């Protein structure tokens, strides 16, 4: 049964933060960047970690689900509330608590926006490498909860690599801290990394200890048109080998022709039209910039990609623009099926062929962009994401990616939309282990239920077939 009015009044008495049950407040937390909508029963903006503890203890007594929320930018429904849930809104937790410059560490509250930290770190001569496309709005707590990445993950890796510690409140109401300032330690399993990517199902972050990197003296970005018929796998391999030989590439991104046209509409002078694009970033010194660019063009010249390149001396301007891709497609097509998959680099051609084959068989348009250097792509199929055809497209895509040895989620997490496919990737034994871990951290199953782990009672929890769809057509690399 839902908590009654008296129970909610009890919560209001026990916490110092702002608790609201007004329709306007509830509507403001009903959805995120996915097409899903939920129905919360209350929104708490906790004043401190003690409030978070008190609220979770109350939720256990009242049998109310608790869903954490930051910037609301998740794409798979991670922050969408289940019916009757309490939403814990951390968007006002925006303090940087400590700078440890000697050890290149920073302690933050979970509501700090990614770009805000980037700017403050740059002023001190540091950079925080993870820069997801939503970096202007997404919070560091959400980035950690989904193990977010971004263009620079080609060089620096995902969010998990940069989280050195956390304070969190578990589903038991216990407040725990797990961190180290040492560069390495061997004291049991990696408990810090355990909560990163757990989507608020094991505990709610109240602090994060993050590692920083030295800020490069110069970052220059280059937009390169791709001639028709060029082999993307070959270009990826050429750039990857050049990086291994010392070319300081920190990002190798791709947008297809259709997505490039949308970017051209808002940045005509800086984004060429009519072709797909490579988006590249070089890091180095002021003195090496010209030489690095020359070396890059030498790599691209044999493939006919050395002309018509556009420079972005301030690389962040390009990544801000690239982050608009999804929004621009939203404006043109409305909601659609947006996916996030990755395969081993040597299977990139097969992934591209699979995406094209699925769009053709479903007779829908597809717009694809993503992290070419890591063979991690975001196909956007123009179909109602809540429709049966969209779910069938997702099933076939994820089954095909699994057959290629890839992952069903490279950086967005599973949320509610892809939790039914968890067993496809991990198998029943690992899913059973994860369920046991969930019971240990959250014995009542109240933290973000239905996310990451599929419901044990839902018929959708049965994993789809892992047999690859139409793979006979998907095994010819795209040229």
**Domain CATH for 200:** 3.30.465.10
Which pLDDT belongs to residue 456? 57
348 and 470 part of one domain: yes
Q: Is residue 346 part of a domain?
A: yes
Which pLDDT belongs to residue 272? 85
Which pLDDT belongs to residue 268? 74
Q: Is residue 101 part of a domain?
A: yes
Q: Is residue 72 part of a domain?
A: yes
Which pLDDT belongs to residue 273? 82
Which pLDDT belongs to residue 1? 58
CB 181 within 8 A of CB 163: no
158 and 225 part of one domain: no
Q: Is residue 184 part of a domain?
A: yes
CATH, residue 439:
3.30.70.2740
Which pLDDT belongs to residue 267? 82
240 and 266 part of one domain: yes
**Overall domain count for the chain:** 4
The rounded Cα 303 to chain-centroid distance in angstroms is: 32
109 and 41 part of one domain: no
Q: Is residue 322 part of a domain?
A: no
Which residues in the chain come in under a pLDDT of 70? 1, 456-479
Any bridge partners for residue 284, and if so which?
A: 218
**Cα angle value 321/323/328 (rounded, 5°):** 80
Which pLDDT belongs to residue 471? 28
Kind plus residue range of the DSSP H or E element containing 276: strand 276-284
Which pLDDT belongs to residue 265? 87
Radius of gyration of the chain from Cα atoms?
A: 23
204 and 231 part of one domain: no
Task: Give Cα separations from 469 to 348, 403, 423, 426, 459 (angstroms).
Answer: 17, 9, 18, 19, 22
Q: Is residue 412 part of a domain?
A: yes
CATH, residue 264:
3.30.70.2190
Q: Is residue 124 part of a domain?
A: yes
Domain span including residue 443: 335-475
Which pLDDT belongs to residue 463? 35
């Amino acid at each position: 049964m839902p908590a009654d009015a008296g129970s909610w009044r009890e919560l209001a008495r026990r916490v110092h933060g702002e608790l609201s049950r007004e329709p306007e407040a509830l509507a403001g937390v009903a959805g995120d960047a996915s097409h899903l909508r939920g129905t919360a029963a209350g929104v708490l903006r906790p004043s401190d970690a003690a409030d978070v503890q008190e609220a979770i203890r109350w939720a256990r007594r009242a049998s109310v689900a608790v869903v954490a929320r930051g910037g609301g930018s998740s794409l798979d429904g991670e922050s969408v509330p289940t019916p009757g849930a309490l939403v814990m809104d951390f968007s006002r937790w925006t303090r940087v608590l400590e700078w440890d410059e000697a050890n290149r560490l920073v302690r933050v509250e979970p509501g700090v926006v990614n770009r805000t930290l980037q700017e403050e770190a740059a002023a001190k001569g540091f950079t925080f490498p993870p820069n997801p496309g939503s970096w202007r709005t997404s919070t560091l707590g959400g980035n950690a909860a989904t193990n977010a990445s971004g263009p620079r993950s080609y060089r620096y890796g995902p969010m998990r690599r940069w989280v050195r510690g956390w304070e969190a409140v578990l589903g038991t109401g216990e407040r725990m801290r797990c961190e180290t300032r040492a560069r390495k330690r061997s004291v049991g399993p990696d408990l810090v990394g355990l909560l990163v990517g757990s989507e608020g199902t094991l505990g709610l972050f109240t602090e994060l200890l993050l590692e920083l990197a030295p800020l490069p003296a110069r970052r220059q970005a280059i937009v390169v048109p791709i001639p028709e018929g060029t082999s993307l796998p070959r270009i990826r391999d050429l750039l990857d080998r050049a990086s291994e030989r010392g070319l300081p590439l920190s990002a190798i991104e791709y947008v297809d022709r259709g997505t490039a046209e949308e970017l051209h509409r808002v940045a005509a002078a800086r984004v060429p039209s009519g072709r797909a694009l490579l988006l590249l970033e070089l890091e180095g010194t002021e003195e090496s910039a010209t030489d690095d660019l020359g070396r890059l063009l030498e790599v691209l010249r044999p493939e006919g990609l050395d002309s018509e390149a556009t420079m972005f001396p301030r690389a962040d301007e390009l990544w801000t623009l690239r982050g608009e891709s999804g929004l621009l497609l939203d404006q043109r097509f409305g909601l659609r099926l947006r996916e996030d998959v990755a395969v081993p680099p040597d299977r990139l051609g097969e992934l591209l062929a699979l995406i094209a084959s699925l769009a053709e068989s479903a007779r829908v348009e597809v717009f694809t962009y993503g992290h070419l250097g890591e063979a991690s792509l975001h196909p956007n199929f123009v179909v109602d994401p809540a429709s049966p055809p969209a779910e069938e497209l997702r099933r076939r895509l994820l089954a095909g990616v699994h057959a290629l040895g890839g992952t069903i989620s490279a950086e967005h997490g599973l949320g509610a939309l892809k939790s039914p496919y968890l067993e496809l990737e991990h198998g029943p034994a690992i899913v059973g282990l994860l369920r046991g871990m969930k019971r240990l951290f959250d014995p009542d199953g109240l933290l973000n239920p239905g996310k990451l782990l599929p419901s044990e009672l839902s018929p959708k929890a049965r994993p789809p077939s892992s047999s690859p769809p139409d793979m006979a057509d998907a095994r010819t690399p795209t040229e």
